[in-house]
Amino acid sequence: MAVKEIYTDDLVLYTVEKRNIKDEYTEYKALKDRHKIKNWLNALLQENEVIIFYFDEDEQIEKNIIATSKGLLPEDYNIPTVKEEAFGEEYDTTHHIGFLTMPDRVPHYLHVDDITKFILKNDNVSEISNKTTLY
């Protein structure tokens, strides 16, 4: 997955493009991309409301949801843990983004691979970027 950014004075649009996996190296790069997207979106959600577009596999359509994690406590949701392997090493990780839906503030989560794009106001993106570690 690669993320492309488009900035205007008011908005930031991130478009997610899935990486074509053809060998072990590109599979490893896809895993790193997934973690980068997950960490970046989590950082944005902690301070903003974000419109997330995702592909609903059950209905085979793209949907969207307004989300934030402001005020969300880890015990408010139960994100599944998965085993992941890269270059012979196995470790536990998560592939989901946890958040509160808006305006009803219901805990929810989405798999990172289902996210197609996300949009937010261009208020504090630079400040969040300066204090966020993506890996």
Q: 3-state DSSP call for residue 27?
A: helix
Sign, CA dihedral 39-41-42-46, equals positive
Q: Specify the number of domains making up the chain.
A: 1
Q: Give the DSSP per-residue string, 71-111.
A: T--GGG--PPEEEEEETTEEEEEE-EEEEEETTT--EEEEE
H/E element holding 33?
helix 24-47
Report pLDDT digits (tens) over 44-93. 999 999 999 999 999 999 999 999 998 877 666 678 788 877 667 787 87
H/E stretch holding 22 reads none
pLDDT tens sequence across 19-28: 888 988 888 8
pTM of the predicted structure, to 2 decimals: 0.87
Is residue 78 in a domain?
Answer: yes
pLDDT tens-digit series, residues 96-119: 899 999 999 888 899 999 999 999
Task: Give the range of the structural domain holding residue 53, as residue numbers without chain letter.
Answer: 2-130
Evaluate whether residue 135 is within a structural domain.
no
